[in-house]
Amino acid sequence: MTNSDNPAMRVVLLGTYDLGKPRTRLLRESLRQIDPQLQELHFSIWHGVEDKSVMTGVTARLGIVFRLLIAYPVLAARYLMAGRHDVVVIGYMGLFDMLLLAPLVKVRGKTVVWDAFLSVYDTYARDRATSSEGGWKARALRWMERRACRIADRVVLDTQAHAALMGELHGVPDAKLDAVLVGAEAEVFPAANPGAGDRGGPIEVLFYGQFIPLHGIDTIIAAALDPRGHEFRWTIVGQGQEAARIDAALSRQPASHITRIPWVDYERLSGLMAKADVCLGIFGTSDKAARVIPNKVYQALAAGKPLITRASPAMRELADGDRAGLYLVPGNDPDALLAALERFSGERDDLPANLHADLCERFSFPALVAQWRGVLQRAAKR
C-alpha cells in the first residue's frame, strides 16, 4: 500500500455490512474519499431490520438465514474476481463476513481491516442479557469473535474504551486495535440555533432511540414522572427490547406532559430535534454504557442542541466535562437529570449560537476521513 499522498491506494469494501447504520454509511463515504475508485462488494441482508434484538417470527429469521446462504457464495465469487486492491475493509455487522470471507482475502495476500464497531458477544451476553455468558450461544459467539480478531490485521471500534474491552476479551494486542469515532451525518443533522425552540411554553425535552438497557430509559421515565418533571414537556420516541415495560409504566399514572411516539423515520429526526430545547443521551449504568458514545449524542452535538447525557469514560474521550450546553450526569440518577434540566432552564439565554462547534470538529466528516486513512496506513505496516 502506498502512503496517504498517493491516490493509488486501492480499497475494497466487502461483505453484508448494514447500510441502515449511520456508522456504516459514514465509513463508506470516508473510504470513497480515500479511494475514489472504491470497489463495493455488498450483499444486503439487513434491509428493514431496525432492531435485531427484537426480530421475531420464524419467517423473519428464516429470511435472514436464506439471504446469508445466498450472500456468501455470491460475495466470494465477486471478491475472487475483484481487480487490483491493497486493503479490504469489512464493515458492521461483519462477524460472519470475517469468518467466511476474510480467509479469501488472506489467500490473496491482502490486508483485512475489520470495523467491528462493538463486541457482539458483550452486547448479546452481557449488556442485553439475551443469553447467559455460560450458555452455548454466548460461548459460540465469543469463540467466533476471537477468531475474527485473529484473522484481521486491524480491528476497529468506536471508542478507546471499547477497543480496550476487545483486547481484554480476546487477547488482541494493543498494536492491532484502533478506534474511530462514529460521527453524525451533517446533511441530516445540520447545525441550528440552540435557542430555536418555542420560548413561550415549557421546555421541550427530546429522547429517541432503541429501548435497550444501556439507554437507561427507566431514569428518563422516573425523571419525567417526578413532580419536578411535570414542569417540562417530554417527547420519548422509540421501540425495542424494553418498550412494553416502559409503556406499561407510563400507563399507570397520568402523564399528559409526556408524548410517546413508537418510531420516527431517520430522516424526520432532525425535525423533532429542531423543535426540542434540549436533547437526552443515555443514562444506563452497564459496563457497555460506559464505553459507548451513541448516535444520538453525536447527532445532537452536530445539530448544536443542548445535551444531557451520562458522564462516562467514553464521553471523556470526546469532552473532559461539563461545558456550555453539555451536561454530564451520573447514570441511573433521575434527580441529577432533573437538576441538569433546571440548570439549563436558567442559562439557556446565555448559550452561544455556535454551540459545540469545537467538539464537532473532532468528528466532522474530514476528521473521520483522516481517522480512517490512518487506520489503513497502520494496517499496511502489519
DSSP type of residue 122: I
Residue 358 exposed, middle or buried by CB count within 10 Å (0-12, 13-18, 19+): exposed
Exposed/middle/buried for 297, CB within 10 Å: 0-12, 13-18, 19+?
buried
Name the residue with cell 470497489.
39
Nearest to 260 by CA among 278, 295, 233, 294: 233
Task: Name the band, by pLDDT with cuts 50, 70 and 90, for residue 200.
Answer: low
Cα(111)–Cα(158) distance, integer angstroms? 20
150-199, pLDDT tens digit by residue? Answer: 999 999 999 999 999 999 999 999 999 999 999 999 999 998 755 544 56
Q: What is the mean pLDDT of the segment spanning 120-142?
A: 82
Within 8 A by CB and 6+ apart from 53, the residues are: 128, 130, 210, 212, 240, 241
Q: How many residues does the chain have?
A: 382
What distance lies between CA 48 and its chain's CA centroid?
Answer: 17
Strands, E assignment, 44-137: 87-90, 111-117
| pLDDT of 52 over the 80 cut | no
In this predicted structure, the answer to whether residue 345 has a pLDDT above a threshold of 80 is yes
AA identity, residue 271: G
Q: What is the pLDDT of residues 250-267, one digit of tens each?
A: 888 878 999 999 989 999
Q: Which pLDDT tens digit goes with each residue over 277-302?
A: 999 999 999 899 999 999 999 999 99
